[in-house]
Chain A
């Protein structure tokens, strides 16, 4: 009896201490980041700190560089030829642009969910096991377990558990996107990047993904690019407003939506442009 009373007390104290120091570890530290597509200066002197177990939303009008920024975080941007960068992005204290940092290693820790659901033309099961398999996990029992836990983690297990061997293309758009999230979870990442994950989905599927994001932030740090300001307000802890490749404002979400400091932020969130 005593133990049950004492234990939560200790946890409560610890939590209290944590929040007092606001000691959530920094996952990504971006300092003086510039990025050019050829001659086009797409990101200008970006400085952003992203914290553990938070949802950080990135908002801004089309072409403001928000997708470019999120794709830089896992160096996916390098798939575009003629991209040049300067400045640093530290992930857990290591500069990801460092020559010795392998991009495969980075992407194993930093998963990504894309704008359009992009399952592989394979079975649901194979979609989820793709990541673990490329990292050398062959044990069928472990793979089975990964599949179940990842699909449960992405809140789609109940819908697909009886048809794991069917082609993923048979799923609805919303289900496909949650499968992609499950596929991303299967490699046990630390951070999940989401590039407008609901822009191709209907409202109900969008709601499911939003609820899922709330669940996932307990275990992961999430950075989400969104066009939808209500979505940012609903699901994120912090919000960064991008405009023409610059960060105009970056602070707590409730603050940015209630008392924005910059006139341009206010104009954007009140719908005067964008």
Chain B
């Protein structure tokens, strides 16, 4: 049997190796490009904003004068918003994921819901803004409050956390469930003691992603009518408020050159908040992984 011409194989070897190297370099270039752009962006923001960033900046209310402008109302507003979004999304998101994975029968209806949840993740955020405006601000008469914005944001990020939690729950080995059921555990005991502990790292990752998206979203809040300039702090979830991205958006629109620096400082605050949030979640995740 001589079906393979080895001389020909040898001749082609060179071009095969060349394309091997070419694709390696191509993918490396793609990664480098992304990192490079990110690096330049960070460098620009930090060099521009660092001069305006001090303790006063965190303490001051917004002002028409760039040197007095502070981020306090927006920072506090963002924290309030997270205070609403985090519990609402975790409760609804993880609850939905558990129901769909553990309880719901797999039929055409649940598949339809599944497809829709995945599609919702791709709906432009401004659409959620319109929904929030109609339902929460107008129909439920919550006004431009933290609660209305919180609910709107929760809807926006729910698909992310649902899908991530579902994946995490699905990844829990069937054998562990069987072991638990085999000893006479109820479904809820199995979910609580076996499924959730094993799924928590994945659920938290989804939670971080969801909250990170919520913290940076601006478009739906613009639709809800959040003020760009607010000189007082909210006292309850029913109060008017503003958030960091809105404040940054406001500053970048100012004609004075100095406000560009102030905006950069605001971005640094926003990024720092994101990093802190992520670190907390990573810490919790590692703690759970160590135990299990």
Contacts and interface: CB of A to CB of B under 8 A. Distances in A.
A249 B198 CA distance: 44
Interface in B161-215: 173, 175-186, 189, 193-194, 197-198
Contact of B180 (A74, A116, A130, A180): A130
Interface stretch (A49-57, A100-108, A232-240): A100-108
B176 A104 contact: no
Given A81-B106, A120-B194, A134-B193, A180 B179 contact: yes
Contact of B178 (A118, A134, A135): A118
B103 interface: no
Contacts of B177: 79
A134 B182 contact: no
Given A114-B175, A118-B173, A118-B178, A187 B106 contact: no
B27 interface: no
A79 B181 CA distance: 10
Interface in B87-124: 105-106
Contacts of A114: 175, 178-179, 182
Please classify the interface of chain B as helix (H, G, I), strand (E, B), loop, or mixed, using the class held by over half of its residues: helix
Contacts of B173: 118
Contacts of A134: 180, 183-186, 189, 193
Interface in A75-120: 76, 79, 81, 104-108, 111-112, 114, 116, 118-120
Interface residues of B, number: 22
Contacts of B198: 121
B182 to A, nearest CB: 4
Contact of A104 (B105, B185, B193): B185
B178 A79 contact: yes
Given A121-B292, A130-B193, A111 B179 contact: no
Contacts of B180: 120, 130, 134
A235 to B, nearest CB: 21
Contact of A108 (B179, B184, B194): B184
A39 to B, nearest CB: 18
A116 B184 contact: no
A105 B184 contact: yes
Contacts of B175: 114, 116, 118
A150 to B, nearest CB: 12
A15 to B, nearest CB: 33
Contacts of A187: 183-184
Chain A interface size, as a band, is: 20 to 34
A116 B176 CA distance: 11
A65 to B, nearest CB: 19
A112 B183 CA distance: 7
Contacts of B179: 114, 118-120, 180, 183
A74 B178 contact: no
A153 interface: no
Most A CB contacts (10 A, CB to CB) among B175, B176, B182, B291 go to: B182
A111 B182 contact: yes
Contacts of B186: 104, 134
Nearest to A113: B182
A184 interface: yes
A173 interface: no
Contacts of B194: 120
A126 B265 CA distance: 50
Given A118-B176, A118-B178, A120-B176, A131 B183 contact: yes
A62 to B, nearest CB: 19
Nearest to A132: B183
A213 B84 CA distance: 56
14 contacts: A76-B181, A104-B184, A105-B184, A107-B184, A111-B182, A111-B183, A114-B175, A121-B198, A131-B183, A131-B185, A134-B186, A134-B193, A135-B184, A183-B179
Interface of A: 74, 76, 79, 81, 104-108, 111-112, 114, 116, 118-122, 130-131, 134-135, 180, 183-184, 187
Given A114-B175, A120-B179, 19 more contacts: A74-B182, A76-B178, A76-B182, A79-B178, A81-B105, A106-B184, A107-B181, A114-B178, A118-B173, A118-B176, A118-B178, A122-B292, A130-B180, A130-B183, A131-B184, A131-B185, A134-B186, A180-B179, A184-B182
